[in-house]
Amino acid sequence: MASSQTKNSASPGTPGPEKTFFGHPRGLATLFLTEMWERFSFYGMRALLVVYLLSGGPDAKEGGMGGGLGMDLATTTAIYSVYLSMVYLLALPGGWLGDRVWGPRRTVTVAAVTIMSGHLVLALPGGEAPFFAGLALVALGSGLLKANISTMVGHLYDGPEDPRRDGGFTIFYMGINMGAFFAPLIIGTVGQQVSWHLGFGLAAVGMGIGLAAFLLGTRNLSPQSDVVPKPLAAEERAAWLRKGLTWLAVAAFFYGVVGFTGHFTLNWAMIPLTVIGLVIPAGVLVRIKRDKDLTAVEQSKMTGYIWFFVAAAAFWMIYDQGGSTVQAFGETKASDSLLGFSFPSSWYQSLNPVFIMALAPVFAWLWLWLNRGGKEPSTVAKFAAALFFIGVSFFFFLLPLGLAGSGTMVSPMWLVGIYLIQTIGELCISPVGLSVTTKMAPAKYASQMMGVWFLAVTAGDSVTGLLSNPAVGGVDLSGTPAVAMEAVLATVAGIAVYLYRRKVRALMGDVH
């Protein structure tokens, strides 16, 4: 791919000076392919996750392929939400390992091997044990890879002022969405219509291709990607090892006692993970906010940033149900054919990436056009719009829910509408949130704040996991009352953020 789409270098000082990739350092092709195939494996497995867990259970599609784990929808939603929350939570230690222990390049290699191993374990028959072991490996590997591969993209350029930098990240972002688009179409089809485990095996093949592309193209990466920025001293290594072993022993003791006394159940086992997914984000924000080294201006910006963080957590709490609650509805209550063409329900997960690829350039143009006229919405207004749209998507969801209540199989176009509205909301919050995070970060925490932004996803999904968990009463998130309540709360939150926009903008200082 790189060799056929390269040209003479305009910047001899970059890695791979003899050629470029669409005018960018040739190493971008390596990272583009690695991320595209990693996302192919991740989103392919994710598209199968909910339908595999439901298959053979009380909430499975009537006449659908069996052989899954036969769980109910409440437990399935909890598992899915906890899994996603752990992926984003593990991005923090993943970034730490890249900064302090292995360096970004070695960390990404370890991550890719871990992810591929996880998919291979998922491909093994044998019920719950290999499934949860594989899921844990994929979550761990994804967390390791997430922060470090983006860091290596940045290493390809001559600092933040390099005019090619934003374009390079845009190309990289397209790789993410290309992998996410094709994965459900290929892995989902094979998994749902041939064999679940063969589908998971294809996800392992995808990650294997990504790993091969990374290793073969590693010579084109910046030498900076091999550097450990802040290596641990020997005494620090020993201290961290003691801490890690201590917490591992605590976890083993806790679950051992629960299991030995006969109280262990899957749903109770997930509760500590959801609590961790709420406590750690809150603890990180409190620790930064209370740091006495921060100036008064930085303190003010952090207060304003907490508004954005809470709004983002509320957004992702509903948005990520597109892969659980909404996906399960599409599997069991929506027709599996349109205009005479049949398709598996996992294909719904290809809608968001195709909408992103189609609409992202439109939104980028729209913001620039409005900016030229002095009418571009503020960051606060964009966050408010995101909450409003995610609320509207669930108001829209109420319509097919009502139609399906009589036993009617609804049109797939209802789900197309839900995912389209959610994507519009995502484009109002995701790129804007990344930008405002870098702008409002205190100097002391500049390299850590991106991980803090990902913790908003962890917090949102942890709330979903806790609400849906049958062990604590379990709210039926697929029911009309819960969907209506979430729609109302998101819309009201969006209006509240908009009404307080002047207060938040005052806290932001010179950031707009």
For residues 245 and 284, membership in a common domain is answered with no
pTM over 0.75: yes
What span, in angstroms and rounded, lies between the C-alpha atoms of 338 and 351?
A: 15
Is residue 437 within 8 Å of 452, Cβ to Cβ? Answer: yes
Q: What is the mean pLDDT of residues 268-287?
A: 91
pLDDT band at 447 (very low <50, low <70, confident <90, very high): low
What span, in angstroms and rounded, lies between the C-alpha atoms of 130 and 114?
A: 15
Does the residue 17 lie in any domain?
no
For residues 227 and 375, membership in a common domain is answered with no
Does the residue 18 lie in any domain?
no
Q: What per-residue confidence (pLDDT) applies to 160?
A: 65
Does the residue 9 lie in any domain?
no
For residues 53 and 98, membership in a common domain is answered with yes
For residues 298 and 177, membership in a common domain is answered with no
Look at phi and psi of residue 344 and say left if phi exceeds 0, alpha if psi is from -120 to 50, else beta.
beta
For residues 306 and 227, membership in a common domain is answered with no
Is residue 140 within 8 Å of 114, Cβ to Cβ? Answer: yes
Is residue 116 within 8 Å of 211, Cβ to Cβ? Answer: yes
Does the residue 2 lie in any domain?
no
Q: Which of 60, 502, 508 is nearest to 300 (CA)?
A: 508
From the number of C-beta atoms within 10 Å of its C-beta (0-12, 13-18, 19+), residue 446 rates as exposed
For residues 274 and 250, membership in a common domain is answered with no
What SS3 string covers 346-405? Answer: HHHHHHHHHHHHHHHHHHHHHHHHHHHCCCCCCHHHHHHHHHHHHHHHHHHHHHHHHHHC
Helix (H, G, I), strand (E, B) or coil at 21: strand
pLDDT tens digits for range 356-397: 999 988 988 888 898 888 888 888 899 999 999 999 999 999
Q: What per-residue confidence (pLDDT) applies to 15?
A: 45
What span, in angstroms and rounded, lies between the C-alpha atoms of 388 and 4?
A: 44
Q: What is the mean pLDDT of residues 295-307?
A: 88
Is residue 496 within 8 Å of 488, Cβ to Cβ? Answer: no
Its domain, for residue 180, covers: 25-231
For residues 139 and 277, membership in a common domain is answered with no
Q: What per-residue confidence (pLDDT) applies to 281?
A: 93
For residues 350 and 490, membership in a common domain is answered with yes
Structure-derived torsion over alpha carbons of residues 43, 65, 205, 140, reported in degrees to the nearest 10: 50
How many separate domains does the chain show? 3
Residue 327 sits in a domain whose CATH number is 1.20.1250.20
For residues 223 and 128, membership in a common domain is answered with yes
For residues 248 and 280, membership in a common domain is answered with no
Comparing 154 with 6, the larger pLDDT belongs to 154
Longest dimension (CA), the chain: 68
Does the residue 212 lie in any domain?
yes
> Which of 15-24, 39-48, 162-171, 380-389 is least confident?
15-24
Q: Over the chain, what is the mean pLDDT?
A: 88
> Which of 267-276, 395-404, 483-492 is least confident?
267-276
Burial 71-106, CB ≥16 within 10 A → b, else e: bbbbbbbbbbbbbbbbbbbbbbebbbbbbbebbbbb
Residue 6 has pLDDT above 60, yes or no: no
Q: What per-residue confidence (pLDDT) applies to 505?
A: 78
Q: What per-residue confidence (pLDDT) applies to 14?
A: 45
What would the two tokens of residue 330 be?
A: 């599409």
pLDDT band at 512 (very low <50, low <70, confident <90, very high): low
pLDDT tens digits for range 237-258: 888 889 889 988 988 888 888 7
What would the two tokens of residue 274 be?
A: 């959801």
Residue 61 has pLDDT above 80, yes or no: yes
What would the two tokens of residue 500 be?
A: 């307080």
Helix (H, G, I), strand (E, B) or coil at 58: coil
Does the residue 246 lie in any domain?
yes
Does the residue 412 lie in any domain?
yes
For residues 158 and 240, membership in a common domain is answered with no
pLDDT tens digits for range 180-237: 999 999 999 999 999 999 999 999 999 999 999 999 999 999 998 898 888 888 888 8
Residue 20 has pLDDT above 90, yes or no: no
Residue 498 has pLDDT above 80, yes or no: yes
Q: What per-residue confidence (pLDDT) applies to 178?
A: 94
**What does 288-351 look like in DSSP terms, one character per residue?**
HHT-TTS-HHHHHHHHHHHHHHHHHHHHHHHHGGGGTHHHHHHHHTB-SEETTEE--GGGGGGH
Does the residue 19 lie in any domain?
no
Residue 290 has pLDDT above 50, yes or no: yes
Q: What per-residue confidence (pLDDT) applies to 109?
A: 96
Burial 307-344, CB ≥16 within 10 A → b, else e: bbbbbbbbbbbbbbbbbbbbbbbbbbbbebeeeeeebb
Q: What per-residue confidence (pLDDT) applies to 4?
A: 34
For residues 143 and 69, membership in a common domain is answered with yes
pLDDT tens digits for range 87-140: 999 988 888 888 888 999 999 999 999 999 999 999 998 888 899 999 999 999
Residue 11 has pLDDT above 70, yes or no: no
Which residues on adjacent β-strands are paired with residue 141? none
Name residues whose C-beta falls within 8 Å of residue 233's C-beta, 6 or more positions apart in sequence: none
